Structure 1
């Protein structure tokens, strides 16, 4: 098992970014990799609340961790600090012991002093069978999608939230 850390910047306030991290509708839009679809089966954003999500590859020859083209994972919210941190404990639904075990996904949000948010994404306990490069590439892409999502007119959490912008890669 290993750990990855990816960080970036989103030109939106922490409150807006946080709401995109704890909304099932938002997750289904920005946390899905390109070339995949997302189905949120369960999502109860509270400490101890559960979630279950499936990501399905559009390519007919793709190999999934849970089914032919699908990765399904489930877990719980271990810690929620409004506008600051989201900690999820999750695991793949798989019969493959090399992909088993729980992982911890921590997203930490920090006000950058200019109205934007520095986001640090830490994956801990990732099975060795999951390529680190894939996790890191996917996380950077997710940060970009998160930024596009929160800056769009599609995601308007409240009339007082005015932040807009893009994620910028910050490699450790």
Structure 2
């Protein structure tokens, strides 16, 4: 999958999570764990395929709970696929994200870089999304990223 996007938008969100970096890192590596916290509020998810290693691919479907929401793939779903580009144990996860959509505003390759920084309270988790498709409204994306980080906190702080 070639990186063809001319969009240079970057969306970013951070949160301190009361869990050590190894706990958070492991939440990315098991499909049942990953899909339990990744979908933002108002969505559910299903893993189609998942190979968490550098160069490994994944595919998932996120479904909007509210019928009125328009998905990127169908009226209420976002199908995404991508590759794990980099896995640095307890420090960083970098992956590509492609939305399966016929709408050019949602096409292209977005890069997600998850950074795990140990702090006195636990781990500061930062997600940077590079080359965000133009069809993804910035305010919606930032709300979704904060929701996902809140889910990750709930999942790992237990």
Task: Give the TM-score, by structure 1 length.
Answer: 0.85
CA distance in 1, matches of 2:80, 2:24: 22
- Offset of 1:67 from its aligned partner? 1.0
Helix, strand or coil at the partner of 1:68: coil
Cα deviation code 1:68-115 (max 9, x no counterpart):
21001000000000100000011100111111100000000011034x
Unaligned segments of structure 1, at least 5 residues: 153-172
Structure 1 residue 5 and structure 2 residue 26: aligned?
A: no
Structure 1 residue 150 and structure 2 residue 137: aligned?
A: no
1:88-167 equivalences under 5 Å are 88-114=95-121, 116-152=122-158
Q: Which aligned runs of 4 or more in structure 1 are off by greater than 3 angstroms?
A: none
Unaligned segments of structure 2, at least 5 residues: 1-6
Q: Please identify the structure whose Cα radius of gyration is greater.
A: 1
1:30-49 equivalences under 5 Å are 30-49=37-56
CA distance in 2, matches of 1:81, 1:101: 25
Cα deviation code 1:103-147 (max 9, x no counterpart):
000000011034x00111100000111111111111111111101
Helix, strand or coil at the partner of 2:11: strand
Number of residue pairs the alignment of both structures matches: 151
Task: Give the TM-score, by structure 2 length.
Answer: 0.92
